[in-house]
């Protein structure tokens, strides 16, 4: 039976036959990930979990930007750890984001991420779990968390699996930006386009190629490959990641980094070395 898609406000869903287009739809916030957005994406993928009629999901950002990462202003109001026995919403929220990435990663459908503008912080998570990632040459990628005094918690296991430990460590500890060519060189991106028209052409070709393949075979192939690549259970990694994330946001660097972001200034650990 065809899936009944959820009602959404923070993402936009467009069903076109076997293709579901999922637009991150907070362009005024550069599609920064809110808790509501995460819940809606999770609900969408859960709704199509067993729907063989949906064969391709395209994730794209509205307004010319893919995803600016987490909503930093919300993190700044995190406050102190809760009392014993009280749910830690900061930790739970990061864990929900990790669960969402895992759901996308394990989806039976082929998932294509289309990156325009920027994929920052948590936005790289989508590029890391997509089966195919397409991008503009001008797109920017960065694991920016450490520049804000926090850690790339939930995305780290997926990034390491995507591009390998050496490359992941380089970008995770530096917060350095990659352009489209660099992102393709390390493995975040599969194909690049010079402009939006060429990007749309690449996307159409990728969809059409996938639609040549048997949907159940695609689903099983993904399951086999993910099982082969797994060493430590992802749930265990994500639990550890959520602990690290919550502690970092509440720590001195997290408080300073998020405050600096909101106040549009550099955090106090930024230095510039002269030759």
Ordered by start, the domain boundaries in the chain are 11-195+212-262
pLDDT in tens, 146-179: 999 999 999 999 999 999 999 999 999 999 999 9
pLDDT greater than 50 at residue 274: no
The CATH number that domain 11-195+212-262 falls under is 3.90.226.10
Partner residues linked to 59 by β-bridges: 22, 113
- Give how far the C-alpha of residue 151 lies from the chain's centroid of Cα atoms, to the nearest Å: 14
Residue 143 phi/psi, 5° resolution?
-95, 90
Lowest mean per-residue pLDDT among 22-31, 179-188, 230-239: 230-239
Residue 187 is given by DSSP the state: T
Do 207 and 110 contact (CB within 8 A), yes or no?
no
Quote the tokens at residue 121. 């912080």
pTM of the shown model: 0.88
């Amino acid at each position: 039976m065809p899936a009944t898609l959820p009602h959404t406000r923070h993402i936009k869903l467009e069903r076109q036959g076997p293709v579901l287009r999922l637009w991150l739809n907070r362009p005024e916030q550069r599609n920064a990930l809110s808790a509501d957005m995460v819940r809606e994406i999770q609900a969408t993928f859960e709704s199509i979990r067993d729907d063989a009629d949906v064969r391709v999901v395209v994730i794209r950002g509205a307004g010319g930007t893919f995803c600016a990462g987490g909503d930093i202003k919300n993190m700044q109001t995190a406050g102190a750890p809760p009392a014993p026995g009280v749910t830690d919403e900061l930790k739970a929220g990061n864990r929900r984001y990790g669960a969402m990435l895992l759901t996308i990663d394990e989806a039976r459908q082929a998932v294509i991420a289309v990156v325009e503008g920027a994929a920052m912080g948590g936005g790289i998570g989508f590029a890391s779990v997509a089966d195919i990632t397409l991008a503009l040459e001008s797109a920017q990628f960065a694991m920016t968390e450490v520049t804000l005094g926090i850690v790339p918690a939930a995305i780290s296991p997926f990034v390491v699996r995507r591009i390998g430990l050496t490359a992941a460590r380089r970008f995770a500890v530096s917060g350095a930006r990659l352009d489209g060519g660099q992102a393709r060189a390390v493995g975040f991106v599969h194909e690049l386009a010079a402009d939006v028209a060429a990007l749309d052409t690449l996307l159409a070709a990728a969809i059409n190629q996938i639609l040549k393949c048997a949907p159940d075979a695609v689903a099983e192939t993904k399951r086999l490959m993910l099982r082969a690549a797994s060493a430590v259970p992802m749930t265990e990694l994500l639990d550890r990641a959520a602990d690290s994330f919550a502690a970092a946001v509440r720590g001195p660097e997290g408080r300073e980094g998020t405050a600096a972001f909101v106040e549009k200034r550099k955090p106090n650990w930024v230095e510039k070395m002269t030759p």
